Homo-oligomer: A and B are copies of this chain.
């Protein structure tokens, strides 16, 4: 973890900074299945989620601005609620500073503390090589790749990896 990046729970006041990280990622449409033209209020409702959703932010200790965010929640309700699902986004300007790794490790630690037994990703875009490598380095394995499940804006249909690790 970078010594200048702090991970903490998000507050309502963080939303503008969180949205500033998410919006270019969602608009690009290369790594998420959100509609590329999603409205801010829909994105807010989706990212902040319901009562079981936990949201983290990565804060650059110098300027104090938000450079990344993550959320996790039960992947299924009821009898599947002991497996978490998680999502991540990092500001392009903060690339290479270990923000994604710090958020990933923070989610692993927090989900374990919350009592989850595993984390499952449902939709890691197969061409998002940096993400795949990061998750593998944090102990995730690809259980399967759903073929042609993601309509990449420039590469066409590519696979969506389902990745998993126990906690």
A interface residues with partner B (beta carbon < 8 Å)? 29, 32-36, 38, 75-83, 117-118, 120, 122-123, 143-153, 160, 162, 164, 166
Q: Which residue of B lies closest to A145 (CB)?
A: B143
Q: Which one, B38, B82, B143, B147, contacts A144 given CB within 8 A?
A: B143
Contacts of A148 in B (CB 8 A): 117-118
Contacts of A75 in B (CB 8 A): 149
5 contacts between A and B (CB under 8 A): A29-B79, A35-B77, A80-B123, A80-B150, A118-B146
Q: Which residue of B lies closest to A80 (CB)?
A: B33
Number of this chain's copies in the assembly equals: 2
Q: Which one, B33, B120, B143, contacts A78 given CB within 8 A?
A: B33
Q: Which one, B78, B150, B164, contacts A79 given CB within 8 A?
A: B150
Q: Which residue of B lies closest to A46 (CB)?
A: B77
Smallest beta-carbon distance A39→chain B, Å: 13
| Structural contact, A162 and B143, CB atoms closer than 8 A | yes
